[in-house]
Amino acid sequence: MSVEPEGITLVLGGLGVRGAANIGVLQILREQRVKIKKIVATGISSIIGAHFARGGDLEELTERFVHFFTENHRYLWGLERLGGLPPSRGRWLVGSLSYFLRESLFCKVNLKRPSLLPWELVEGNLKELFGNATSSELEIPLAISAIDLARGEEVLLERGRLVELVQAGIAFPGLFPPVRIAGREFSSSILYCELPLEGLGEEDRPIVAVDIPGRRSSTRPRSLLEIIAQVDELRRAALKRRLLTKADRVFCLEGLRRFPWGNYRRIPALISRARGEAEVLLSVAM
Amino acid sequence: MKIGLSLGSGGARGYAHIGVLQALEEAGIEIELINGSSIGAIVGGAWALYQDVARLIKITERLVREADVDYFNIFRYPSESRPFLRNWLVNALCDLSALRESILSHKDNLQALEIIFGSKRFCDTKIPFSSSALDLLAGETIVIKEGRLVEGVLPSIAIPGIFPPVERDGQLLVDGGVLADVPVRELRGEGAEFIIAVELGEEIEKEYHNGFDLLTYVDALKAQRLRQWELEEADFLIQIGLPDFDSMRFDNYEIAIVQGYRAARQALPGLLRRLDERGA
């Protein structure tokens, strides 16, 4: 990769807080002075990508994430375990009941509203991070993948105010309300496909995608919710598998498979693990 | 050249497949092998077994009369019932089901499949037929082509969440339409050289009022993308538009059959041309 004088196009995704792992990957890429000509991101990686593209400090961003999730635990507790039951078989009944109560209550109250969380929860942080900056001030061009809800298709947003672009990237359907930019409404494309490779063309080559694969669910799902979650996971995996063939190189962070997407209390561990893996992968690539 | 027909999923819209079969038969296009997902597996299996459209229509009439196939009345739209009562009922059902594997059992499905296939087996069909299902444990679409037809088609209609997954040879199977809405690749694997795919494309509901709507919307986009990729591998595509047709109304079969017939008739000149180009 050191022999890519033009630089690479870096594609970042990752479901839920798992996307925070990309901080570790970017730290390594920055240290190794890998030239990046464009960043394409969705989900939580939109924040990370935008911050990095402005030349921002990644340590500071990690601290900000940790601080945000600690501060807002009282709003987010239901998300923590939506990723699924703990695999311990012995506690089946207790586990199921606790899962049922938490998720059923949490979802019932929240899914009837346009979204689980209001934008006010993150607006302050986004303003502090990006202020009134626009895409033209970025050191590295950035494209945020989102779903244009009126047209029903994935689009890449490349120009505009960073706060708005990032919001479109993190407007997880059901979690945050859709974002309105220039009269059009957008939701995050992360639940459509974890890695926004679809809109990329020849001029973007070489394309490097950072894949944070999900847990392989070979255990028998025991409840309706688990079955539906597994089906959803399989669909997303099928989409991702196909799209990954568009990438010239895939950095697959295998070690993060077992990390649940809602586990926001272990972000620093996630990042340092990703960092370790990225270092090995990059040394092999170079 | 072996011509194969791959029938897509789509609930009650799937009756349209019967109309398509009629049009293809009239045009003298000989289907040598057939497969399907979900309702496509039911119609495909019945066609492979009987090769007689009139009989398929008779069976449909009998199903509507005798089997309780109107599964989904609990999900009817609010205009048809009191929204509050409906929501309450759906919620209560979902709550009770959350600790089980599904909302409904396979009892009515089995009854319906018994009416269609009786004790016939895959080896009894006049042309090779396979049904597709998704194995939740391996995470891939599998092809079923052996054993009793009732048992082979059942996994293909086990809509996740609504019906329980079906266990078969260490696999945990659900509706094949999840990953292979129109199982074109699977039919290619069975040896088809020219594949006619029949898609019962449903318009994606783009209106949303709450988080649940949005999640459903995105899920539909995913399904659509996967379907498009699969259809690109077909040699000819027949798309059946059934605007305003409720996929959950299994008693409305006439409209779907007629629409399927019309769509296939319209597509025929193109299909014949394509077959001609390929030297069939």
Nearest to A100 among B98, B102, B210 (CB): B98
Q: Does B214 touch chain A (CB under 8 A)?
A: yes
* Residue B34 pLDDT > 50: yes
Which chain A residues contact residue B100 at CB under 8 A? 223-224
Which are the contacts of A261, defined by CB distance < 8 A and separation ≥ 6?
A15, A16, A17, A18, A82, A83, A214
Strand, coil or helix: what is B186? Answer: helix
Task: Quote the minimal CA–CA distance from A245 to chain B in Å.
Answer: 13
- Residues A88, A63: Cα–Cα separation, whole Å: 32
Q: Which two tokens stand for residue B14?
A: 């799937």
B10 has a pLDDT exceeding 80 = yes
Stronger pLDDT, B65 or A28, i.e. the higher one: A28
Residues of B in contact with A147 (CB under 8 A): 218, 221
Cβ contact, residue pair B103, A100, below 8 Å:
no
Higher pLDDT, A141 or B209: A141
Comparing A226 with B39, the larger pLDDT belongs to B39
From A190, which residue of chain B is nearest by alpha-carbon distance? B218
Among the residue ranges A1-10, A106-115, A123-132, B221-230, the one predicted with the least confidence is A106-115
| Cβ contact B210–A221 (<8 Å) | no
C-alpha distances in angstroms, B246 versus B3, B11, B280? 31, 9, 37
Computed over every residue of chain A, the mean pLDDT equals 85
3-state secondary structure at position A144 = strand
> What mean pLDDT, rounded, does chain B reach?
88
State which H helix or E strand residue B198 sits in: strand B194-199
Taking alpha carbons only, the member of A256, A258, A223 closest to residue A87 is: A258
- At A102, is the pLDDT very low, low, confident or very high (cuts 50, 70, 90)? low
The DSSP secondary structure of A80-140, one letter per residue, reads HTTT---S-STTHHHHHHHHHHHHHHHHHHHTTSS-SS-THHHHHHHHHHHTT-BGGG-SS
State whether A224 and B101 contact (CB < 8 Å): yes
Q: Mutation test of the interface with chain A: which of B100, B202, B214, B224, choosing the one with the most A Cβ atoms within 10 A?
A: B214
Q: Which residue has the higher pLDDT, A88 or A190?
A: A190
Check B222 against A236: CB less than 8 A apart: yes
Average the pLDDT over A24-35 and give the result: 94
Across the interface, do A192 and B221 touch by the CB < 8 Å criterion? yes
pLDDT given for residue B179 in this prediction: 93
Please give the ipTM for the structure prediction: 0.86
Cis ω on the peptide bond leading into residue A206 (within 30° of 0)? yes
CA distance to partner chain A, nearest, from residue B215 (Å): 6
**pTM of the predicted model as reported, rounded to 2 decimal places:** 0.85
Residues of B marked active site are found at 38, 175
- Chain A hits for B101, Cβ within 8 Å: 221-224, 227
Both tokens of B245, joined, read 């047709």
Confidence bin at B74 (pLDDT 50/70/90) = very low
